[in-house]
Amino acid sequence: MNPHLPAEAPPIFVVSLERAGDRKAFVHRVFHEAGLEYEIVPAVDAKALGAAELATYSSRRAVFEYGRELSRGVLACSLSHLRVLQRIIDEGLEAAVVFEDDTRPLPGFGDLLTAPKLVPDDCDVLTFHSLYDWASAIPVSDEPVSGDFTLCRYGRTPMGTQAYLITRRGAERVLEVAFPVGLPSDEILFRPRPAALEVYGVEPSPVAQEDFPSEIDVPAPPVAEHSQLARLALQTLAISGRAWQRVERRRRPAR
């Protein structure tokens, strides 16, 4: 459907920590079984965040736009996805598929990637896995794009970056507004602000998330330390952010 995308399947990048041997073995097995080519992209390690990675973070943006500080795990996850988006730009790719290393492609996923009507002209990002039913999938058409898979939009913001396709236009827009980092990866990709991407999805989900221990929720020191006065200022900023988001929701046009 999108004349700007190549007819062949876009490359698949799988974000995975260097030290996550069990997850890498899982990735090798499930993609081999699916007959899909892929490349593992080293993830940013929350346990080894350096000064350069920490300097990309903004407490002020996090509390204003997200309502609270990001953990080291969430910051590392966001930086990992942004790293992949930068590769799309640097390598001149028209689009790419991004997987996290706890997610498997289901039967029919390969055929779906080459379906001519998968990516509409105005699509910036297409999620293959919305975590929650309350995202309220709204079919674009009753006609499947491949097999039983149907293209949809969402009544509410879909969550999760387990597997998605993003165009170069979408990647460029995200990288324009992502820094300083103050949002989780799914918030920056799928919420209406600040990237304002055109978001589509596929239902039913053509991928499945496996039950691996979370790397994001592992206890760790906070990303930033603040004085008592700074903490009070951030609390005030968080209140202002919640008020701003209520106004934004009222102004948002219905799909």
pLDDT tens digits, one per residue of 116-139:
889 999 999 999 999 888 999 999
Q: How confident is the model at residue 221 (pLDDT cuts 50, 70, 90)?
A: low
229 neighbors 34 (Cβ within 8 angstroms): no
Q: Which residue has the higher pLDDT, 192 or 199?
A: 199
The number of residues in the chain equals: 255
In this predicted model, what pLDDT tens digit does every residue of 22-48 receive, in sequence order?
999 999 999 999 999 999 999 999 989
**Domain 12-251 carries which CATH code?**
3.90.550
Domain boundaries, the chain: 12-251
SS3 content of the chain, % helix, strand, coil (to 5): 40, 20, 45
pTM for this prediction: 0.87
